[in-house]
Amino acid sequence: MSSHILPSQSFKPAQPLGFGKALNHLAVATTRTTVALLNALRRPVRQNHRLSLVEEANELRAFADQYRKTDPGFAADLMAAADRHEVGPRA
């Protein structure tokens, strides 16, 4: 009869994250969120030129046309938003 002895592995016990690591993770998440929001607020660029307000409004109207039959209320809201966007900010 033979016996086999397997060596046990020693695992480090789980340790809670230190305050510095938690603060670092929070800073990284905040930075990523801020960058994403700033990128979302930038005006779109197509073929290396910035779209005008009229071009952006026309793209929104084309998107609204896709919903004209299935959800006419939503399409009407999009068309109204395109009209307001085309006028631009009022002083």
pTM for the complete prediction?
Answer: 0.45
Q: For residues 75 and 65, is the Cβ–Cβ distance under 8 A?
A: yes
Instruction: State the Cα–Cα distance between residues 66 and 70, nearest whole angstrom.
Output: 8
Instruction: State the Cα–Cα distance between residues 64 and 76, nearest whole angstrom.
Output: 8
Joined tokens for residue 48: 């290396």
Q: Which residues of the chain have pLDDT under 70?
A: 1-2, 6, 13-17, 43-49, 89-91
Q: What is the per-residue pLDDT across 50-75, written as a single tens digit (0 to 9) for each?
A: 778 888 889 999 999 999 999 999 99
Q: What is the largest CA-CA distance in the chain?
A: 94
